[in-house]
Structure 1
Amino acid sequence: MTNHITTKWLGNMAFESNNPSGNTLIIDIAPEDGGEGQGYRPKALMLSSLAGCSGLDVASLIKKMKLEVEEFTIETIADLTEEHPKSYNKVTIEYHFKGANLAEKKLQRAVDLSIDKYCGVMEMFRQFATLEIKTIFKK
């Protein structure tokens, strides 16, 4: 399977990028870097991809296991290297589950399956960064 993405320059520092889903997004940089801050920043978008990929795995497993979850949030915190080209060298991924009747062991299993087996973006991140995974449960 091949993904083909077209990214078109819109002028100044902005680009429009499509997706196989037919949706588009704008990529831009901060005004202090010469952009207009009207779009997603490329490196931050990688973190959204990571959280989205793993989140979809976990959401699918929540449905399959018929688990009760009121709220599910993923916090992704990444450290950039100081030198250019700046890249992520450490990424913390926190899975936050909130609910009155959380099946903690099953939810942890869903997270583990995503991390170890299903999430391709997680596997790509492993090639260049140290990953720290945390699972937090709240009533």
Structure 2
Amino acid sequence: MQASVKWLDNQRFVGTSESGHTVVMDGDKTSAASPMEMVMMAAGSCASVDVVSILKKARQQVTGVEVQLSGERADAVPAVFTRMKLHFVVTGFDVSDKHVERAVSLSAEKYCSVSIMLGKSVDISHSFEVHQAEFG
């Protein structure tokens, strides 16, 4: 895997992935997410891919998945993450708590490369809630 990051101006940079996708990052957080925010969102998106895939394979009628992320960072430099929480909000029709719990657990323990990698030095926790979708 390869990527590049190019300085634009001030504290703004554009990253380009091997697949040709780009993302802007801003160390000042004025015009884009910061690199550390990107790390947290990467963990959330990686885990969400797993959760959605596992629930679809289990034939759950999922209509929405959101992961709410919170993180704590060290007070000293480098201000690394010390804790991160991923809270999944799953919406659908008759979605089973048991299936969601299993999907979140499999992502956390087996599939999500980003959160498993971060978990080597960050205290990562996972939780979830399930909401019934409304017809209409």
Q: TM-score, normalised by structure 2?
A: 0.90
Distance in 1 between the 2:62 and 2:94 partners? 8
> Which sits farther off after the overlay, 39-48 or 63-72?
63-72
Distance in 2 between the 1:21 and 1:110 partners? 28
What is the one-letter code of the residue matched to 2:16?
A: N
How far did residue 26 of structure 1 move?
A: 0.9
Q: Which has the higher strand share?
A: 2
Unaligned runs of 5+ in 1: 32-36
Partner of 1:34: none
How far did residue 46 of structure 1 move?
A: 0.3
How far did residue 11 of structure 1 move?
A: 2.3
Partner of 1:133: 126
Say whether residues 1:98 and 2:91 are aligned partners. yes
- 5 Å-filtered alignment, 1:42-53, equals 42-53=35-46
Residues 81-132 of structure 1: CA deviation (Å, up to 9, x unaligned) = 1111111101111011123411111121111111111111111111111112
Does the aligned pair in 1 maintain the 2:104–2:126 contact within 8 Å? no
Unaligned runs of 5+ in 2: none
Partner of 1:14: 12
How far did residue 138 of structure 1 move?
A: 2.2
- 5 Å-filtered alignment, 1:75-86, equals 75-86=68-79
Distance in 2 between the 1:39 and 1:70 partners? 28
What is the one-letter code of the residue matched to 1:52?
A: S
> Cα RMSD between the aligned structures?
1.4
